[in-house]
Chain A
Amino acid sequence: MRCLVTGGNVKVLGKAVHSLSRIGDELYLEPLKDGLSLRTVNSSRSAYACFLFAPLFFQQYQAATPDQEPVRCKILMKSFLSVFRSLALLEKTVEKCYISLNGRSSRLVVQLHCKYGVRKIHNLSFQDCESLQAIFDPASCPHVLRAPARVLGEAVMPFAPALAEVTLGVSHGRRVTLRSYQEEEADSTVRAMVTEMSIGEEDFQQLQAQEGVAVTFCLKEFRVGVSDLRAASRPPCPAQDLTLPLPSQGLLSFAESANLSLSIHFDAPGRPAIFTIEDSLLDGHFVLATLSEPDLQSQDLGSQQPRRPEPPLQANSAPHLDDFTNDDIDSYMIAMETTAASEDFRALPSLSSGPQPPCSPDPNSEEDEAEPSTVPGTPPTKKFRSLFFGSILAPVHSPQGPSPVLAEDSEGEG
């Protein structure tokens, strides 16, 4: 793989890397026919992020030489980030950025051509890897919000930096609210303040959700998400009229800086929320676990279950729905890594169940182990699920075993 990024796009690329670095410690870089994909997942596998830079984003882009197998690799986020460490300098000094990945030399080479003829050459070591793929499908989420990233960015600003989670919901009057989430057991000082922001329907470009729906997710990753997607966009190609955002760190800031609209797709609590931005030159997806709420969950068990009988099927079909969903052994393996221990337990309580949709995030894998002992319907109060697990509902009643849900057979991946 070789590609050349020039001008303002170097900064866009840098911003994307910065936002990914807020999520995970490893970066999966995969040159695809339809663009260069950068992906990461956090250590608890409750948040997954990926950017796909279209070939047009680059001055030159060659995914693989004709006689070559496409190479993909996994590198330490830190080492890749160090190449793009200072965005200000990147903008000021870097004129061109060549990236080449050669299976034979086992080096990912990033060359920055800077002002004054200075050249920086980074030879980064990498590991071979399978493709990283979370299985999710925005189309299957019944609720969709779409708004300029700026609107969401401003809405998140008042929340304390230390706040762990926010609840996003639609309250009556069809106002969209963001509310600080209070853990039941949180001590009183923490609970002393609740922050709530509400945004009128008119600020949204799309608001497809009934009143009363709500999901809770990690604020930090959301911030990342919003800012990053915002930032991603300054198109380098002369022909392109890009309106991508520039700002800060996450998807939110990314999206904000690019002036992009951010779409939030979500479903019942416990199922992942998917944040997307799209542009002609790149698109970004952030998938965050949402908190399953005990009370809601019991209801969900009843009501929700029938509603989504798509499980294993969905897993298989998902890949076709989305570029990022191509699945293969690796994601299966990844899923197994975290699930294997708890799987058996999970099967024990096997109540009933339907297969779970493949997409759900959860940050606390350890908690999973505790799970077997809980009676269905009384799960721990606070729980996220791995993106690679079945949904939160799954464990309780999924007789199916994890594998069918987790990934499809590897043949799908190109």
Chain B
Amino acid sequence: MPLLTQQIQAEDEQYSLVASLDNVRNLSTILKAIHFQDYATCFATKNGIKVTVEKAKCVQANAFIQAGIFQEFMVQEDSVTFRIHLTVLLDCLSIFGSSPMPGTLTALRMCYQGYGYPLMLFLEEGGVVTVCKINTQEPEETLDFDFCSTNVINKIILQSEGLREAFSELDMTSEVLQITMSPDKPYFRLSTFGNAGSSHLDYPKDSDLMEAFHCTQTQINRYKISLLKPSTKALVLSCKVSIRTDNRGFLSLQYMIRNEDGQISFVEYYCCPDEVPESES
């Protein structure tokens, strides 16, 4: 345990949240997966921290960092909530450099005294300690997508590898990404309709990439490509992705991300469908 941790032990009682981590990258990597807006809302309970980012009231990303990821994790109240500048937080977490030399780890101790106080970060690498204080803000109410697993119509689990290329090469001149999920051909299809023409990407249900295929009825939904594109950040970090749509056409993308120590965290994106103009349907 870093020296730093022991020195501060005595002061712990005054904090409503204390978390420490031997490898800061286990936290920063997950946060990068949802970093498509400047501000994020953090909720901490004794189970861990959930960080939420939203855009346009249409898309929401949640990163779940379980208490087990941290070497020390303590929450004094039932839950602690604050809003923070995510870009600044990430900059601070990588203050010793974002791609460290092999063998050197940056340790983190994170403390939050409560409403109105800044979030304090103590980062230590090779005996050098940096202290960062980031002002916190009034938490904002986050969206409730009411995405309930009992309403899920179609569900597919894919190895992320199979989607990575597709998402990185999405035709951004297309306004929407159309997702077709069906028990029959084409099973799972991603389509774009851009300036250059249309393109379709088909995954057969018996593909080796397909870990699970549970589609009960054909659904064709369109989602704003600009809203889905940020999920690429989570996709590239993840090893598996679960794609679900419910009876309203809402989309849930869950990414399973394995960190450097082999622990698993989840990042989840919700997106509401684009309204289909009468004429086009």
Contacts and interface: CB of A to CB of B under 8 A. Distances in A.
B140 interface: no
A108 B199 CA distance: 11
A301 to B, nearest CB: 47
B206 interface: yes
Contacts of A121: 199-202
B8 interface: no
A122 to B, nearest CB: 4
A95 to B, nearest CB: 13
A79 B196 CA distance: 6
Interface string A73-97: 0011011001001100100010000
Interface in B160-192: 162, 165, 169, 171
Given A82-B169, A86-B165, A89-B165, A122 B199 contact: yes
B196 A117 contact: no
A120 interface: yes
Contact of B203 (A78, A118, A124, A125): A118
Nearest to A121: B200
A118 B162 contact: yes
B197 interface: yes
Contact of B197 (A89, A119, A124): A124
B264 interface: no
B204 A117 contact: yes
Nearest to B171: A82
A125 B194 CA distance: 10
Interface in B101-117: none
A89 B206 CA distance: 22
Max chain B C-beta neighbours (<10 A), residue from A116, A122, A123, A124 = A116
Interface string B199-215: 11111101111000000
Contact of A125 (B171, B197, B202): B197
Contact of A79 (B165, B195, B206, B208): B195
Contacts of A79: 194-197
B203 A117 contact: yes
Nearest to A125: B197
A174 interface: no
Nearest to A108: B197
Interface in B203-231: 203-204, 206-209
Contacts of B204: 117-118
A291 to B, nearest CB: 36
A143 interface: no
A179 interface: no
A84 to B, nearest CB: 11
Nearest to A80: B196
B195 A116 contact: no
B198 interface: yes
A93 B207 CA distance: 14
Contacts of A82: 169, 171, 196
Contacts of A119: 200-202
A107 interface: yes
Given A76-B196, A125-B196, A120 B207 contact: no
B165 A117 contact: no
A122 B162 CA distance: 18
A85 B169 contact: yes
Given A85-B169, A89-B165, A116 B209 contact: yes
Contact of B199 (A78, A93, A120): A120
Contacts of B197: 79, 107-108, 122-125
Contacts of B209: 116, 118
Contacts of B199: 120-123
B196 A118 contact: no
Interface in A88-139: 89, 93, 107-108, 116-125
Nearest to A79: B196
Given A82-B169, A85-B169, A89-B165, A118 B207 contact: yes
Given A78-B196, A107-B197, A122-B199, A117 B169 contact: no
Contacts of A125: 196-197
13 contacts: A85-B169, A93-B165, A116-B203, A116-B208, A117-B207, A118-B162, A119-B200, A120-B201, A121-B201, A122-B197, A122-B198, A123-B198, A125-B197
Smallest CB-CB A-B distances: 9 pairs: A79-B196, A124-B197, A117-B204, A122-B199, A116-B207, A125-B197, A121-B200, A119-B202, A117-B207
Given A79-B194, A85-B169, A121-B201, 4 more contacts: A116-B208, A117-B203, A119-B202, A125-B196
